[in-house]
Amino acid sequence: MPLPVPRARTAVLLLAALVCLAGCTGGAPSSPGGGSGTTAGAAQPAAYPGMPPVADPHNVYADAGANMLSDVVKTAKPLVYVPHTKSGDVWTIDPATFQVVGRYRLGGELQHVVPSWDMTTLYASDDTTDKITPFDPVTGLPGKNIPVTDPYNMYFTPDGKSVISVAEARRKLVFYDPHTWAVQGELPTPQCAGIDHADYTPDGRTAVFTCEFDGRVAVVDLASRTLLRTIDMPVRHMRMGPQDIKMAPDGSVFYIADSQEGGLWVIDGAATKVIREIPTGAGAHGLYLSRDATRLFVTNRLAGSVSVLDAYTGAVEATWPIPGGSPDMGNVTADGSQLWLSGRYTHEVYVLSTADGRLLARIPVGDGPHGLCVWPQPGRWSIGHTGITR
């Protein structure tokens, strides 16, 4: 509906004034290390309806800083949840003592432990028997199984109104009501074999899903639930190709771990093209941010190391070895002092100091530890995966 004439004239005058101010300021501030920041005066796209507002465009993770725990998660028992693909159980570890305190036989091939959008429930996903098992984070105990189609991974729309089951084997996304678990719809992704991990643009409207067995990514409009395009990597690895993905704090780029390539592909923030490559190590797989979002931790599963990158520029700052290890997936603790990772092929969990990469513990666990979840996590809402919060 058009604006009334006086209001429209006022809007034009205000816009002209803003343009003038922008032209007189000398440009926008740059990101740390020379990365691109948010352009002053630039029109920003409307956010996904119902998504909590972004407080700091230069760091969309600003509300998930050290110890920024919401009232919802303050009642959670501090635990590390370790799902196992081979032994079909979830183990819980006390992060204060590094001791295993629970073992829950659930059956199937357990892939990830995923926090719900409202951060009140954790779900252990099993894609071989089409189920998820909810855990109560207050008690750390499992509840009754919920039928879900091929939940290799799970994410949530930014308004919390839909759960997305990433049905890897079926090449599609299945949308569910998070309360009734009724199917809301499906989005086929036939050119995305091994659809896997995802992350969202700062406005929450666009998601980028990796295609591990197709050497590309799929770009999805979350509001309309349509596939916008696929983007091929410069080298299309189709056995263990694109896996985890993480958006830079200022939304300028997406980092994509490619196991076979041994490093990261970088695509632009609008998700239209690959712009460069960052070598890290053989088996590059998991991507996790430091609590202040200045560093990006990259797990090199086959090299047995963690690469530390500047989260804005992608510059490699350090490499932390884990001798004989196979670091896979996990997260940083709420206070930011530790990085917990599953050892996919070594029946163990690693705990590293985020200050210097010192290996604090190697904890024996079951067979095939995979999408480890450290809980509680700071933040207002959960995208999903192993606890990616904003």
Give φ, ψ of 73 to 5 degrees. Answer: -95, -10
Q: What is the tens place of the pLDDT at every residue in 297-352? A: 999 999 999 999 999 999 999 999 999 999 999 999 999 999 999 999 999 999 99
Name the token pair of 103.
């073992």
Backbone angles phi, psi at 129, to 5 degrees: -120, 15
The predicted model gives 147-161 an average pLDDT of 98
Contact 108, 131 (CB under 8 A): yes
pLDDT tens, residue by residue, 70-88: 999 999 999 999 999 999 9
Give start and end residues of each alpha helix (H) in the chain. 5-24
Cα distance between residue 184 and residue 332, in whole Å:
33
Q: What is the pLDDT of residues 101-126, one digit of tens each?
A: 999 999 999 999 999 999 999 999 99
| Per-residue pLDDT at 46 | 86
Round to whole Å and give the CA distance between 108 and 42. 49
pLDDT at 227: 98
CB 348 within 8 A of CB 330: no
The 10s digit of each residue's pLDDT in 200-213 is 999 999 999 999 99
Domains of the chain are: 62-389 (2.130.10.10)
Band of residue 45 on the pLDDT scale cut at 50, 70, 90: low
* Region 247-253 average pLDDT: 98
**34 pLDDT higher than 80:** no
Token duo for residue 95: 């992060």
pLDDT for 13: 36
**Could you tell me if 231 and 240 are in contact, meaning their C-beta atoms sit under 8 angstroms apart?**
no
Give the global pTM.
0.88
Give the three-state DSSP class for 302. Answer: coil
pLDDT at 97: 98
CB atoms within 10 A of CB 8: 11
> How many percent of the chain have pLDDT more than 90?
88
- Look at residue 233 and tell me whether its pLDDT is greater than 90: yes
Q: What is the mean pLDDT of residues 222-227?
A: 97
2: left (phi over 0), alpha (psi -120 to 50) or beta: beta
Percentage of the chain modeled with pLDDT above 70: 88
Distances (CA, A) of 284 to 294, 301, 336: 20, 6, 22
User: Which two three-digit tokens encode residue 272?
Assistant: 């239209």
pLDDT at 41: 41
What is the mean predicted confidence (pLDDT) over 122-131? 97
Strands (E), 189-262: 195-200, 206-211, 216-221, 226-232, 242-247, 253-258
Residues linked to residue 257 through DSSP beta bridges, in sequence order = 264
* pLDDT higher than 70, residue 9: no
Q: What is the pLDDT of residue 25?
A: 35
Residue 44 is predicted with a pLDDT of 60
Q: Is residue 178 predicted with pLDDT exceeding 50? A: yes
